[in-house]
A and B are shown apart, each in its own frame.
Chain A
């Protein structure tokens, strides 16, 4: 599609949507959000680019092959689930650790975030794989 408005809008919206996806991913543990909707919004930003330009340029923008994203995501999710087993706890138990940022408060980090990142990558990969395949055919 060759529309100046769409081109400009997609160039402006693409980074914003990606930033929003990352925000949703990290805030998902306590408020609505999480890996699934973050993945969908991330995919939407690339879908917008696909509609404004074309599939090859969207693929170039994504850099990684969607299949690789799915595979990496699954490995992330499994890795977070296996970590607890190697620490002697039941499979998939959440492990928590944290550190203090001087003046900014305590930051707690846990394996659920890794799991959610995995979900994010899988959803992003699957959605884009579908969109790319349908737009190419």
Chain B
């Protein structure tokens, strides 16, 4: 069964999706499969991580066709960590969606597409073949196109249109890049590409080629200057969908960037990685300044995704073991925290019927426990100790200082301060200030708030606890990230695992 372990995170969502289709008419069964399937996915990814941690990189040659001809599924520590995160988010969102997504959307196959989306995400993380990665990207995008447009309100269609257009451009660039790469090297297996490109006669051509991938993945990851599709589409679908998008989709882009720029395109590190570093700095700044101008809960959060992406790619741009460790740690922290913030925004929107900060207020008085649950991820995002975000930023800052990249470190710290300001704004507007529609001294009416339901609060609580655990037990997580970064910096083990023929 060990040979099946790396493909299980792909097989389980597909089976869950297929079984959900058989019960198209019964929402009840689909919900249970949604929770059960994603729960199994989480368990399988945890087992995968523990196995990879214990025995080293796992690989499966699909259909018994040996690499580099066949498709290889590889799970190194970085992939396995990402797969576990996908499992956690999938499970929490599936539980949240039970009441968090309206019945009409559920009856149009919401859960089926959630499974397909998770399958695409896990496939992108685990594949060892660049063309196969393109296919998983398409699987994931296809499902996300449906999820973003499902329900069909005019605002959603506008957001979906921008989202689809930009992502199709990115896919076309990605595919063109793969085509030329295949023309130059004659292989698509990433490990094989790494070996063959290391001895290429024309490193200039390869660096040019790498720009295709930088732009394509940069669009997916919402990096500067190609991020504008994200804030204009993420706030339109139901909060549960925004949450899973915010947690996973852009991070697939970041994962792909880190994978190809540590394994394949390392010919001219001074040029490519410095370019990534500059783009990261600008991404942080643009995102956080954009957020300052917004007054809608989820739009503020969307702009913060952009700004946070800058931190993750900053670690890649610095290109040292410590900086990559910090990047991996940052991604882990960010996926949990960001999804959680979107889930909280969904609860607020369901309670008050709006996400407009000017109309919100007084939530601290009526729902103090929810306020605490908001405060944990919000302060973690801003980077206050002892929460997870603090250690993630600390790692990046130390890595930057060691390499004497003072400019980017200063930017990171400045943006961090602005993030704190932005989170304080959300806190002050939505929770602290009195409700705008209630006069001074009058009792707050509680009757018009919809009651909170347990299945929507539980995922938020679990994610908040994970954030606290990552913060308090930072050393354990940092060591794991460090080992993952070690495998990224020195790809020999990865290449060996792929090329090892095992039936």
Residues of A within 8 A of B (CB): 65, 67-68, 70-72, 74-75, 78, 81-82, 84-85, 88-94
User: Is the CB–CB distance between A91 and B18 below 8 Å?
Assistant: no
B21 touches which of A67, A88, A92 (Cβ 8 Å): A67
Measured CA separation A78–B7 after assembly (Å): 12
User: Is B15's beta carbon under 8 Å from chain A?
Assistant: yes
Q: B451: which A residues are within 8 A, CB to CB?
A: none
User: Is B17's beta carbon under 8 Å from chain A?
Assistant: yes
Given A68-B24, A91-B62, A94-B63, A85-B3 contact (CB < 8 Å) = yes
- When A and B form their complex, what is the total count of cross-chain residue pairs whose Cβ atoms lie within 8 Å? 62
A90 touches which of B14, B18, B61 (Cβ 8 Å): B61
Interface centre among A67, A91, A92 (most CB of B within 10 A): A91
Given contacts A68-B21, A71-B20, 4 further A-B contacts (CB under 8 A): A68-B24, A75-B15, A92-B62, A92-B63
In the assembled complex, 22 residue pairs joining A and B whose CB atoms fall closer than 8 Å, in A order, are A67-B21, A67-B22, A68-B21, A68-B24, A71-B18, A71-B20, A71-B21, A74-B15, A74-B18, A74-B21, A75-B15, A75-B22, A78-B18, A81-B11, A85-B3, A85-B7, A88-B3, A89-B64, A89-B503, A90-B3, A90-B503, A91-B63
User: Is the CB–CB distance between B24 and A67 below 8 Å?
Assistant: yes
Chain A residue with Cβ nearest B70:
A90
* Size of B's binding interface in residues, CB under 8 A: 22
Instruction: Give the residues from 8 to 47 in chain B that come closer than 8 angstroms, CB to CB, to chain A.
Output: 11, 14-15, 17-22, 24
B19 touches which of A75, A88, A91 (Cβ 8 Å): A75
User: Is B396's beta carbon under 8 Å from chain A?
Assistant: no
User: Is the CB–CB distance between A75 and B18 below 8 Å?
Assistant: yes
Q: A90: which B residues are within 8 A, CB to CB?
A: 3, 60-64, 502-503
CB distance from B18 to the nearest CB of A (A): 4
Measured CA separation A74–B18 after assembly (Å): 6
Given A78-B15, A85-B4, A70-B21 contact (CB < 8 Å) = yes
CB distance from A125 to the nearest CB of B (A): 9
Measured CA separation A92–B7 after assembly (Å): 10
Residues of B within 8 A of A (CB): 1, 3-4, 7, 11, 14-15, 17-22, 24, 60-64, 73, 502-503
A91 touches which of B4, B21, B502 (Cβ 8 Å): B4
Q: B11: which A residues are within 8 A, CB to CB?
A: 78, 81-82
Question: In terms of DSSP, what is the predominant structure of the interface of chain B?
Answer: helix
Chain A residue with Cβ nearest B22:
A71
CB distance from B6 to the nearest CB of A (A): 9
Measured CA separation A81–B73 after assembly (Å): 15
Interface centre among B21, B24, B63, B73 (most CB of A within 10 A): B21
Q: A70: which B residues are within 8 A, CB to CB?
A: 18, 21
Q: A84: which B residues are within 8 A, CB to CB?
A: 64
CB distance from A18 to the nearest CB of B (A): 23
Chain B residue with Cβ nearest A75:
B18
User: Is the CB–CB distance between B22 and A93 below 8 Å?
Assistant: no
Given A78-B11, A78-B15, A91-B4, A68-B22 contact (CB < 8 Å) = yes
Measured CA separation A15–B36 after assembly (Å): 41
Measured CA separation A70–B17 after assembly (Å): 10
